[in-house]
Amino acid sequence: MSDGAALAGPDGALRCPWALSTEDYVSYHDEEWGRPVHGDDALFERISLEAFQSGLSWITILRRRTGFRAAFADFRIEKVAAFTDEDRERLLADPGIIRNRAKVDATLANARVLADWADGELDELIWSHAPDPATRPAPKTLADVPAVTPESTALSKTLKKRGLRFVGPTTAYALMQACGLVNDHLETCVARSAL
């Protein structure tokens, strides 16, 4: 049983313990989680997937990401914003995604809101909430990694005020972790030094 400290993976390298439960997690952890993500469509995808993850394990979303991308036009904001009622019904019947009505509706509504924003506005807004890395010591164990921060609370409030849904403070913090606004790889994790 781990005390939340980094653990050796099959290759002997130390990693965040959550990353070692499946091969899917290892590659996601090593190649994607915590690396900077820019671009409105890319960030819309991450916002949408984090919203779908709410109440579920991330592996459930990760293993369906190809299905999500196919169902939601690769998360191109303009395309999703133009989805019709027929598209909504198609999504609610699609076994390749999570067929949660509230989350599907939120994703469609968010795309419609974001379609009215200037190019680069979502990227700029999200990244404006990144904390100063110098104020964040490297976490030694998972117990040192928060679920919510003042920055994620502020990001959540800003996104909600601008009309987005399913963007609570915990979801906002998960987004910040996944998109590299914060580096929550543990101090001795091999991926931390690769960033």
29 labeled binding residue: yes
* Residue 28 is a catalytic residue: yes
Q: Which of 25, 33, 45, 50 is catalytic?
A: 50
Which of 3, 4, 7, 1 lies closest to 190 in space, CA to CA?
7
Which of 18, 58, 117, 127 is catalytic? The answer is 58
What is the chain's Cα-based Rg?
A: 17
The answer to whether 131 and 182 have CB atoms below 8 angstroms apart is yes
Would you call 58 a catalytic residue per the annotation?
A: yes
> Across-strand partners of 7?
15
141 forms beta bridges with: 5
173 carries an active-site annotation: no
Using left for φ > 0, alpha for ψ between -120 and 50, and beta otherwise, residue 94 falls in beta
Q: Which of 28, 32, 127, 187 is catalytic?
A: 28
Q: Is 38 annotated as a binding-site member? A: no
Give the whole-angstrom CA distance, residue 46 versus residue 130.
16
User: How many other C-beta atoms are found inside a 10 Å radius of the C-beta of residue 74?
Assistant: 13
| Cα separation, 161 vs 118, whole angstroms | 17
Q: Coil, helix or strand for 145?
A: coil
Annotated binding site for Zn(2+): 16, 29, 185, 189
Annotated binding site: 16, 29, 185, 189
Q: What are the residue numbers of the active site?
A: 28, 50, 58
